[in-house]
Every structure is written in C-alpha cells, then in structure tokens.
Chain A
Amino acid sequence: MDIAQILANALVRAAELGLLAVGLTMVFDILKFTNFAHADYAILGAFLVYTFNCGAGLNLFLSVFLAAVAAGLIAVAIDKAIFKGFRKKGTKSVTAMITSLGIAIALRNIVRMIWTSESRTYAIPIQRPLRILGARITPVQIGILITSLVAMIGFHLLLQRTKFGKALRAISDNRVLASACAIDSEKMIQWMWFLATAFGVVGGTMIAMEHLLYPRLGFDILIPIFCAAILGGIGNPYGAMLGALVLALAENVILALDFGHILSFGGLFELGSIQIKTGYKPAISFVILVIVLLLRPTGILGRK
C-alpha cells in the first residue's frame, strides 16, 4: 500500500468535494433545508464553463468566473421564484427539500436538452505527473488543491472578517432577531445563494476537469457531497472541509486495507487476505454516513 499516493488521491478528491460541500452546508445553515439541487447547479455551471471555454474560446479562468456568476444568478432567480414564497408562508423545511429534488431533476434534464448526454472534456492535454514526496500528482491536481485552498481561505475571511459574514451568521442564528437588527435578511439570503452556487460551480468544474463532464455527473457526486457535509456537521463550513477529507481518505484507504493482515496481527499467523469487495465502494460513503448519523448526529465537529 503506497501511503503517499493514497494520501495525495484523497487530498485531491477532498479539494473537489469540499467546495461543493461548503456550499451545501451554507444553504442549510441559513435556510435550514438540504438542497438536493446543489450539485446540479454546479454541473450546470460546469457546462457553461465548457461553452464559454471550448465553444466561445474564452480564457479558462474568465469562463469559470462568468459561469459562476451566471449559475449564481440562476440560483438567486430560482430562490426568488420558489423558496422566497416558502419563507413568507413559513412552509416546512421538508417541503423545500422535496422541492429542491424536483428542481434537481428538472435542471439535470434541461442540461441534457441543451448539451445532450454526450460526455465532454475541457481542452486540457494530459499531463505527466510530478513526483512529490513519493506521490504522483499532476499540475492540474496541484491547481485544484491550490484553488480549493484559496477559496476556503477566502470563504473563511468572508465569514469571519466582513460585515457580510457577521450578518450571515446572525441570520443563521435567528432570522427574526437579525431582521430586527436592521439586517436585510432577504438580500443576505440572495447573496448566500449566489456565493454557495458560485463555489459549487468552481468545485463542479474542477471535478469535470479532473474526470469528465456529463449531465448526470451532478447526481453521481451528490451522495459523497452530502456525506462530506454531514460528516463534518451540516451547517458548519469547516466541518464540511474536514468531512470531505475524512470521506476521501475512507474511500481510498478502506479498499486498500487487508483485514486479513490486520486480524492476523500483521501476518503473525496464517490468515488469508480479507478485503472488501470493490463492488461495495459506492457503499462506503453511504455506510460511513449512516454510522456517523447514528453515533453522532451532529457530525464530527458538531454545530457551532
């Protein structure tokens, strides 16, 4: 088992999932419902990046910026059309959650109507991996790690050091009280949707860049994102980052573990190799999720 390589793989996956999990957790933090459409907003954005970058020939960074803005605005528009009414009426959060499921199904298929089901790649040539501390890692992956890190730090500063962040936290704690303190909570909520989705688009684009872009991608990454967000304690952005890392490590390590070797005290006595069937890999995130939910419903870090 090549520990350095497994660690590197896990870090990259955590960087990709983390940005998406943070956005998911933000929506939950403020609006108290789980947004099933989060990953699909992100993939819509990733397709916009594709069109701007490979279709219109814009610079990649500019494309990501434009797509993040566009997808953010779409998320705000959807909020205005649907969720705002729910907030006014005081509709239960589960209703909003089911609605987001409907939005997810609709969005995913609108993407298919526009871009077809064909899978796409951004025009980035294959790269020779560099060797860093014994692990192979490509320049794109390093770029993903750096982008994710910068975005997270920016996010931290935004939440902790700005008026906006304070207002957001106030709304999260008590929306009524915040309004009483002259915070325009509707406007804040719109900004929050915008930011959460923009972060998601960056994350979604990175996943598509590292792997492949197709309309169903949103659904394929949904459960790992939920898992990361819940692992860290939903509503807690730092938890979401930590959750993504734990999940990524678990996925990479558990398949590599030889339980036979461990049970026999490192080969002390004869015991065949016992490994988890690779067919169960998608179940790893589910099972971790269920175990965490059962043992520690507030996640690793807990909520605030």
Chain B
Amino acid sequence: MKKCLFVMFLTVILGSLIGMSSLAAEQGPVKIGVLLPLTGTQAVMAEDLQEGFLIAQEQINAAGGVLGRRLELIIEDTETRPTAGMDAARKLVELDRVPVITGGFSSGVMLPIAVYCQERGILVVSQPPTSPLFRDVGDYIFLVNVLDNYKGKVIGEFAFKDSGLKRFALMFMNNAFGQALKQETIKNLDALGAEVVTVVDYELNKVDYKAELTRLFAKDPEAVIATFYANEGFIAAKQAYEMGLLNVDEVPWYCPEMASSFAKALEEIPEVVEGIKGLNPLAPESLFMKAFREKKGRDPITAYSAMNYDALIMIAMAINFANSADSTAIRDALPKISQWYRGQSTGGDKRFDEDGMQGFGQYSKVILINGEVVPYPE
C-alpha cells in the first residue's frame, strides 16, 4: 500500500516534469507566468485580480497576439503563503520557463520571489505590493502600482488642506502595505504641522472592528484617515455607522485607496459611506472598466484588476517592441513602453522611474456620492 502510493506520487511528479520541459517549443504560444492569491487570506479578491489578466489576454490575442504567436497565461496559486508562492514561482521559472512573472498580491509573498527572480534574471512586473523595499531589489523588478511613500504624501496633503483641520486619527491594516502607507502618512502630516492623535493598526480578516473603532475615536480626532480592503472596509464602515462614528459632516474621513477600500460598501451600503473623500487609482470610465462590466455585469471590487490589466498589456507591448520574448530584452523595452502607454489605472500615467517603480502615478481626488465614485471638485 505505502509503496504503491509512493510510486504513484513519484510517477505523477516526474511525468509532469518531463512533459512540461519538452513542451517549451519555440513556435508555441508565448507564456507568461501569473501569480494569484487564489486560496488563503486574500482569496476574496482573487477572482477580480485574475479577471484583469484574462481581459488583457483576450484583447491581446484578439489583436493578433505577441510576435505573431498566441499569448498564454500560466496561472499559479500563491495560497497567500510565502512558501507556496515560492513553489509556484520556481515552477513557472524553472519548468515552464516563463520570461516574465506578473501578478502577486502581498509583499510578504512577492518580496522573496522578486529577490529570486532578480538573481535568475527573470522579469517581474508585479502589482499591489507597494512596499518601498521593492525599490532596492534590482533592475528586473517593476511595479505597476504607486509606492506607498508617494501615496502617503498625497493623502496627507489632501486631508490636511481640504479639511483645514489639525487633529488626525489613523487606521491602517497591519501588513506591509498598510504599515508603509501609515509611516509615510504620519511623516507628511507631521511635516505639515498636523497632529496625529491616534494610530490604529488592525488585523485583516476579522469580523468585529468595534473595539478598534472605539479606540480610533477615543481622543476626539477632527478627521480620520483610514484604508481597508473590500471586506474590512465594508465591516468597518457599517460598524462605525452603527456606533454613530461615521458622520463625515462632523469628522471627515479620508482614504488613500478609495476603490479597494469601499468597493463592497459602495455596492451594499452606499448611504453609509456617502461623503467619504479620498484618492482613486482608477480611471473611472476606462476601456477596462467597460470590458469588465460587460463580462461580469458589475464593477471590479478593487483597482488592482485594472493594474493587472495594465501590467499584462505593457508586457505584451514590450515583447512586440523588443521583438523577443527574452527577459532582458523585455526589461529593456519596458521603460520605453511605459512612456507611451496610457494606462487604465493610477490616472493613466504608467511611467517607471529609474528603479522600475511608479514614481509619477496620478491619483484622482474623489468623493463617494450616491453610491458612485465621483471626481472631487477642488
């Protein structure tokens, strides 16, 4: 019994290893590796994240593919576990021999993968991980989302100038994304002469944020800066409303990532989040949004699916521009492509700076009115 099982496992794995490596023919489709958190703590967003890639893939292939070949995506699950993410990345690079890996979600999963890919000379065009640590990994690493330090500066200025208030309370999730954003926001508020009276770090994937919200308002802040993912944003907004804490006429709320924070809330309880102001990385009426709506019958939950779309389109354009599916050639073409490409996220400006980061992205100022994200008149 045990031998039988064992031999079975070995056959399966070795068989597939051999099968995979012989498939890497020159004239087949161009393969791109995609990492997605399909299981685990971030699985809630996975479907939307994946849709960004799929829509881009359909459009690219409909337009003739890359290098006259079909563009194929090999989608692997990171399970939101760094070790499983590494399994997936290694498989993509060493067995599927993809020249580019895109996608990824949390910095904890993507950082070690970025380090590994840099070492191997594999291009990484990743999206949401916006931890500043990515800047130093190397020249094969590109991000399509704006780094937290940039976002922190913008939201601090926006909240301070727009409200004219001095005492701020902050609420950010306790992961690399939230913490980097928090540090930058505090730094910029300090520089502007505002006072941060309370800082709340919250754990993701909890169902009860009442105690955190009580703490947020304990020292009578004049304004709140908070960011969430869709589920947490829904729960926090609902609970704050029910506790009488969400009243933007008395204490305005500002949010650095409007689209991802309140997507669920906008859908379910639009009247609650009415009047929250913030930044939005999405171009509200973009081609991507239209394609997404046609396909899914709803808006994307977060802006990240548009970023994934941008990432894949830019990769495809760079492959065609370089006339090669080689990592280094694509890497060299990518910055040029980003100068020309008009994106569907972060205001359309997708230019990479000298480190491959998004230094120039524009965030439009928006306000939530009648369940819609509308531009905020300055």
Which of B's residues lie within 8 Å of A, judged by CB?
Answer: 39, 41, 43-44, 46-47, 174, 200-203, 205-208, 210-212, 214-215, 218, 230-231, 234-235, 238, 241-244, 264, 268-269, 271-272
A278 to B39, CA, bound (A): 27
- Closest chain A residue to B267, Cβ basis: A121
Answer whether A118 and B44 are a contact pair too, CB < 8 Å, given A212-B231, A251-B211, A278-B202. Answer: yes
Cross-chain contact of A118 among B47, B200, B235 (Cβ < 8 A):
B47
Closest beta carbon of chain B to A14's beta carbon, Å: 11
Can you pick out 29 interface pairs between chain A and chain B where the beta carbons lie within 8 Å of each other? A2-B214, A6-B214, A9-B210, A112-B39, A117-B46, A117-B47, A119-B231, A126-B238, A126-B241, A129-B241, A129-B243, A136-B242, A136-B243, A141-B242, A210-B207, A211-B208, A212-B234, A214-B44, A220-B205, A220-B207, A252-B211, A255-B214, A256-B218, A275-B215, A278-B211, A278-B215, A279-B201, A281-B211, A281-B212
Question: Are the C-beta atoms of A256 and B242 separated by less than 8 Å?
Answer: no
- A281 and B44 form a contact (CB under 8 A): no
Are B47 and A217 neighbours in the complex by a CB distance under 8 Å? Answer: no
Chain B residues in 8 Å Cβ range of A252: 210-211, 214
A127 CA to B202 CA, complexed, in Å: 25
A278 nearest CB neighbor, chain B only = B200
B215 touches which one: A109, A112, A255 (CB < 8 A)? A255
B58 to chain A, nearest CB (A): 21
A112 and B47 alpha carbons, distance in the complex (Å): 12
Q: How far is the CA of A186 from the CA of B43 in the complex (A)?
A: 40
Q: Min CB distance, B196 to chain A, in Å?
A: 13
User: Are the CB atoms of A119 and B230 closer together than 8 Å?
Assistant: yes
Q: Decide yes or no whether A207 CB sits under 8 A from chain B.
A: yes
Over the window 127-158 of chain A, the binary record of Cβ atoms lying under 8 Å from chain B Cβ atoms (1 yes, 0 no) is 10100000011100100000000000000000
> Please, which residues of chain B bring their CB within 8 A of the CB of A211?
207-208, 235, 238
B230 to chain A, nearest CB (A): 7
Q: Which residue of B lies closest to A135 (CB)?
A: B243
**A1 contacts across to B, CB distance below 8 A:** 214, 218
Q: How far is the CA of A221 from the CA of B202 in the complex (A)?
A: 16
B242 touches A129 (CB 8 A): yes
**A116 beta carbon closer than 8 Å to chain B:** yes
The distance from the CB of A121 to the nearest CB of chain B, in whole angstroms, is 5
**What is the distance, in angstroms, from A163's C-beta to the closest C-beta of chain B?**
38
A5 to B215, CA, bound (A): 12
B202 A281 Cβ-Cβ under 8 A? yes
The verdict on A277 contacting chain B, using a C-beta distance below 8 Å, is yes
Q: Is A13 an interface residue (CB 8 A)?
A: yes
- Neighbour of B211 across the interface among A119, A216, A221, A255, CB < 8 A: A255
Q: Is A282 an interface residue (CB 8 A)?
A: yes
Output the least CB separation between A266 and chain B (Å).
Answer: 16
| Complex: A107 Cα to B241 Cα, angstroms | 34
B148 CB to nearest chain A CB (Å): 18
Q: Which residues of A contact B235 (CB under 8 A)?
A: 211-212
Chain B neighbourhood of A138, CB < 8 A:
242
In the complex, what residues of B have CB within 8 A of residue A9's CB? 210-211, 214, 243
Distance to closest chain A CB from B300 (angstroms): 13
Distance between Cα atoms of A299 and B358 in the complex (Å): 55
Contacting residues, chain A, for B41 (C-beta < 8 A): 216
Could you tell me the distance between the alpha carbons of A216 and B243 in the complex, rounded to whole angstroms?
Answer: 26
Asked if A279 and B215 make an inter-chain contact with CB atoms under 8 angstroms apart, the answer reads no
Asked if B208 and A278 sit within 8 Å, CB to CB, the answer is no
What residue of chain A has the Cβ atom nearest to residue B201's Cβ? A279
Chain A residues near B238: list those with CB within 8 A. Answer: 126, 211
User: Closest CB of chain B to A228's CB: distance in Å?
Assistant: 13
- Scan residues 227-282 of chain A and give those whose CB is less than 8 A from a CB of chain B: 251-252, 255-256, 275, 277-279, 281-282
Q: Are B211 and A256 in contact, with the CB atoms below 8 A?
A: yes
User: Smallest distance from the beta carbon of B298 to chain A beta carbons, Å?
Assistant: 11
Contact flag A279-B203 (CB < 8 Å), given A112-B43, A117-B47, A214-B231: yes
Q: B269 and A126: CB pair below 8 A? A: yes
Provide the bound-state CA to CA distance between A231 and B210, in Å. Answer: 22
Whole-angstrom CA separation of A196 from B292 in the bound complex: 44
Cβ contacts A33-63/B at 8 Å (1 or 0 each): 0000000000000000000000000000000
A127 vs B241: C-alpha distance in the bound complex, in angstroms?
A: 9
> Measured between alpha carbons, how far is A118 from B215 in the docked complex, in Å?
29
Q: Which residues of B contact A277 (CB under 8 A)?
A: 201
Could you tell me the distance in whole angstroms from the C-beta of B252 to the nearest C-beta in chain A? 20
Please state if A121 and B268 are interface contacts (CB–CB under 8 Å): yes
- Chain A 187-208, CB-CB to B under 8 Å as 1, else 0, gives 0000000000000000000010
Q: How far is the CB of A240 from chain B (nearest CB, A)?
A: 18
Contact B271 A278 (CB under 8 A): no
Chain A residues whose CB sits within 8 angstroms of the CB of B201 once the complex forms? 277-279
Q: Residues of B contacting A136 with CB < 8 Å?
A: 242-244
Choice from A5, A116, A126, A255 contacting B243 with Cβ under 8 Å: A5
Could you tell me the distance between the alpha carbons of A6 and B218 in the complex, rounded to whole angstroms?
12
Q: Is the CB of B206 within 8 A of A282?
A: yes
Extra 8 A-B pairs, beta carbons < 8 Å, given A119-B44, A214-B44, A256-B218 = A9-B211, A109-B39, A112-B43, A126-B268, A275-B215, A279-B201, A279-B202, A282-B203
Selected contact of A129 from candidates B203, B206, B244, B271, CB within 8 Å: B244
Closest to A279 in B: B201
| Residue from B211, B234, B244, B268 with most neighbouring chain A CB atoms (10 Å) | B211
Which residues on A sit within 8 Å (CB–CB) of B207? 207, 210-212, 217, 220-221
Please tell me which one of the listed residues B214, B242, B264 contacts residue A119 in the complex, with CB atoms under 8 A apart: B264
Cα-based distance from A121 to B241 in the complex (angstroms): 17
Give the CA-CA distance A126 to B241 in the complex, in Å: 9
Best-buried of A121, A210, A256, A278 by chain B (most CB within 10 Å): A278
B276 to chain A, nearest CB (A): 15
Closest chain B residue to A6, Cβ basis = B214
Residues of chain B contacted by A210 (CB below 8 angstroms)? 207
Query: Given known contacts A116-B47, A217-B207, A277-B201, is B212 in contact with A5 (CB within 8 Å)?
Result: no
- The chain B residue sitting closest to A124, CB to CB, is B268
B177 → A minimal CB distance (Å): 14
Which residue of the partner chain B has the closest CB to A277?
B201
- 7 closest Cβ contacts across the A-B interface? A117-B43, A211-B207, A279-B201, A255-B211, A126-B269, A9-B210, A278-B200
